[in-house]
Amino acid sequence: MIFNFLATNAQLNQEPKKITNKFFSELNNLENITPALKKKKGFTNYEELIDFIDEKVKKYPESVSSSFIGESQKGKKIPLIYIKKKNHNDEKKLKVWMQGGLHGNEPASTESLLYLIHLILEDSDYNYLLNKIELAILPMANIDGFLKNDRYAANGLDLNRDHTKMMAPETKASKVAFADFDPHVALDFHEYRPFRKDFAQLSSFGIANPYDVMFLHTGNLNVPENIRTIIDTLFVKNAKKSLDKLNLRHRHYIKSEKYKGEIHFSTGSNTARSSSNFYALNNGIATLFEIRGVGIGKTSFKRRINSGLSVGFSFLKTAYENSIFIFDEIAKANTYSNDIVLEHQRSVYSDVIKAIDIGSNEMIDFETTMHSSKDSYAISKRDRPLAYIVKQNNFGFIEKLKDVGVDYVELQKDTVIYSGSYRVIEFYDNFKVYEKMRMQKVVTSIEYNNNGFSKGDILISMNQKRSNLIVELLEPEAPNSYVSFGIINTSLNSQLPIYRIKNLNN
């Protein structure tokens, strides 16, 4: 076992040539037109990124613009690129948000986006997409991390766990821009590590993950079912077909995890703190996808960019071909009225995954136990209110609600409203700090009374498109809520500053 561990650890930063040659032959169809493709060593740096963007803005002033949406922790301005062709008719365009580099050690995510920008502007095979689509592209979401080839932001936070608590300035900047752009479709480009430490313990000499692309789309049950179905059976399905054409291997996202001392696998995701769920909770057609690339330097770099382009353009084509349908389905989702799911449970089943056996250098079928967030079920629910009321407080989360685009009104005078107040009847905070947050777990009881509110307290109607996101942020038991993340500090028997107005139709 010690030998296996060492053997695979040595491979963490370099893929054995025999694996690359047999399973990941390079695709040499790309031209060296992006910064990292132009040079032999290293990836796109900040100056090269800005120059690349400026050049496109200069060449296509009618359709390309860029703005800085904020600053990284180390003071680098964060660019966002807008691409919108002037209409000859008045057709409403579908808005697509794409981002990469949220984890700084996933370079093909950024490079795929730069190449995609180039192709959609320069190549008539792709340029027509802009007749029905406009784009906002955030190519390097975590600049400080990217420049150090480090997953984390400068303060050590994982920006793909920060979507609800919003503790990093990069998150705030992208949330404000995202809400402002208000996309119908969102795609988050990532890369994954094919040689995980615990893979060394599997099979005789360890295994490696053989998939060029893995799709991580939402299993969150507060996302309207039609949105979840469209993501899975239309967008991701089409993207898989386009990968098939290039003989690129794909599947739903899997990762290994320790479960009672054994190594199991999990698939999918249902937590609002990560991008694909957060975006889908905005009633967006959203997916995160992972290209096989972390820890292998520039190995198969063009193949990895091909993976990114293939998925990116497939999403754009699917959006283009189904634009009316998507407008309609999002409008339906915006009136979603199901009960709120407070707690998700993953389904568990035995599964067979493909793996590269490092000892034999052969593709094998690997039997494992799968914990699926993609197929989650509800274990606790609560009725959906008509509105929430939040009392003025010093916790700072009202600003966060505003930043993610939640609509609310301030009460204009002191008033009494029949409403439910949350009292904490069970309280736990004796578990480890997560992402620098002192987590809390609560159970609340709700009592309906005539409660007094003051001028300046805020009323949040649930008759808005972000209602499904609102429940994940405000319902205290929701695992990524402001209470769970300790942003609203509470204790046993305390009342929360959050109230709810009952929907009498429920």
Give the residues lining the site for Zn ion (CB under 5 A): 103, 106, 190
> Distance of CA 350 to CAs 46, 84, 345, 367, 369, Å?
45, 47, 16, 7, 4
State the minimum distance, in angstroms, from the CB of residue 457 to Zn ion. Answer: 39
Query: What strand order describes the sheet that includes 213-217?
Result: 64-71, 77-83, 133-138, 94-99, 185-192, 285-292, 213-217, 250-252
| Distance of alpha carbon 154 from alpha carbon 71, whole angstroms | 12
State the minimum distance, in angstroms, from the CB of residue 301 to Zn ion. Answer: 17
State the minimum distance, in angstroms, from the CB of residue 102 to Zn ion. Answer: 6
Output 103 or 172, the one with its CB closest to Zn ion: 103
Angle (CA) 404 407 410, round 5°: 120
| Distance of alpha carbon 390 from alpha carbon 498, whole angstroms | 5
**Closest C-alpha among 4, 5, 192 to residue 107:** 192
Overall size of the chain counted in residues: 506
Q: Which two tokens stand for residue 378?
A: 């509800």
State the minimum distance, in angstroms, from the CB of residue 7 to Zn ion. Answer: 26
Output 132 or 190, the one with its CB closest to Zn ion: 190
Q: From its phi and psi, is residue 203 left (phi > 0), alpha (psi between -120 and 50) or beta?
A: left
Output 170 or 457, the one with its CB closest to Zn ion: 170
Output 106 or 212, the one with its CB closest to Zn ion: 106
- Identify whether the C-beta of residue 296 lies closer than 8 Å to the C-beta of residue 193: no
Phi, psi of 75 (to 5 degrees): 85, 10
Output 106 or 472, the one with its CB closest to Zn ion: 106
Output 142 or 372, the one with its CB closest to Zn ion: 142
| Distance of alpha carbon 320 from alpha carbon 93, whole angstroms | 9
State the minimum distance, in angstroms, from the CB of residue 214 to Zn ion. Answer: 11
State the minimum distance, in angstroms, from the CB of residue 410 to Zn ion. Answer: 38
Output 103 or 344, the one with its CB closest to Zn ion: 103
State the minimum distance, in angstroms, from the CB of residue 151 to Zn ion. Answer: 7
The position carrying tokens 């005078």 is 413
State the minimum distance, in angstroms, from the CB of residue 105 to Zn ion. Answer: 8
Q: What is the dihedral of CA 281, 169, 343, 381, to 10 degrees?
A: -60
> Distance of CA 152 to CAs 63, 156, 168, 458, 495, Å?
33, 5, 11, 35, 36
Beta bridge partners, 48, equal none
State the minimum distance, in angstroms, from the CB of residue 109 to Zn ion. Answer: 7
